[in-house]
Amino acid sequence: MGCVIVITSGKGGTGKTSLTGGLGTALALQGHKVLCIDGDVGLRNLDITLGMTDAALMDFSDVIAGRCPLGRAVAPHPSVSGLYLLTAPLTLPEDFPGEAGFRDLLAQARQAYEYVLVDSPAGLGAGFRLAVCDADRAIVVAVSDPSSLRDAQRVVSQLPNLETIHLVVNRVRPRLLRRQGATIDDAMDTAGLPLLGLVPEDAKVVLAASSGRPLAQMSQRGAAKAYENIARRLTGQQVPLMRIR
């Protein structure tokens, strides 16, 4: 039985989708069978992060409506074995069954994949509620500024049924932290969550997406190494936190 992990944030611009793609790639490279589901209806871009632009012809609404089985709707990654994408529709059909349909989809996914990563839309609206409705655990993504961490607190308040919720502090810039007089411990205290990992600010994240290649195929350092470490922690390994200078 696979594990469904929703990756969410209280606001846009935290790098949530980049984390989803990087974490999914890292888990697949470690030998796991991984499905990444883009839950951001109308604003989907997980395919860009994964280097799979226009690779998916069907979306999750096609599976839920019974127009296509899950195994045919997912798109396998062209160069990362074990990594698959199920994209979001541009709009939801009028007869979309809502959370009940998404729960059925996730039940199918648990049977076929070890890890199912759901990239939630930012904010706390209907898209967020759909993405988190049947998750087993959550990763809340924030940057180190106070407003992002406050938004992370609000996200946690909307996840009362999940026992396992972790924080990832993304796009970490040590100089900025020092100028703010802040530490990662402060971020953890503000968000009220245990820390799963730190991801440094890394220009290669944007360059990889622009080139249509997974970050892990361009770099073994920086954000790529951080994604690898987070993936290992998710699978139960003890990995020291990255030192970001």
- Per-domain residue ranges for the chain? 3-234
Contacts of 71 (CB under 8 A, 6+ apart): 112
pLDDT above 80 for 169: yes
Question: pLDDT class for 189, splitting at 50, 70, 90?
Answer: low
Q: Which residue has the higher pLDDT, 160 or 186?
A: 160
Strand partners, 117: 5, 36
Helices 16-29 and 203-211 cross at an angle (nearest 10°) of 70
Q: Which of 112, 129, 183, 131 is nearest to 17 (CA)?
A: 131
Tell me, what's the pLDDT at 123?
Answer: 81
Tell me, what's the pLDDT at 1?
Answer: 86
Question: pLDDT class for 165, splitting at 50, 70, 90?
Answer: very high
Tell me, what's the pLDDT at 193?
Answer: 84
CB atoms within 10 A of CB 112: 14
Please tell us whether the domain made up of 3-234 is placed in CATH 3.40.50.300: yes
Q: How many CA atoms lie within 13 A of 196 on its CB side?
A: 25
CA distances to 17, 24, 30, 106 from 110, rounded to whole Å, are: 21, 15, 19, 6
Tell me, what's the pLDDT at 92?
Answer: 87
- Taking the C-alpha atoms of residue 180 and residue 178, their distance in angstroms, rounded to an integer, is 5
Percentage of the chain lying above the pLDDT 70 cut: 92
- Taking the C-alpha atoms of residue 84 and residue 33, their distance in angstroms, rounded to an integer, is 8
- Residues flagged as binding site for ATP: 11-18
Per-residue pLDDT tens digits for 53-103: 878 889 999 999 999 999 999 999 999 999 999 999 988 888 889 899 999
Kindly give the residue spans of alpha helices, DSSP state H, lying in the chain. 16-29, 46-50, 60-64, 70-73, 99-112, 126-132, 146-157, 174-180, 184-191, 203-211, 222-234
- Residues flagged as binding site: 11-18
Q: Which of 116, 30, 127, 32 is nearest to 70 (CA)?
A: 116
Strands 75-76, 165-172: pairing is: unpaired
Helix (H, G, I), strand (E, B) or coil at 170: strand
- Taking the C-alpha atoms of residue 158 and residue 155, their distance in angstroms, rounded to an integer, is 5
Q: What is the DSSP letter of 217?
A: G
Helix (H, G, I), strand (E, B) or coil at 119: strand
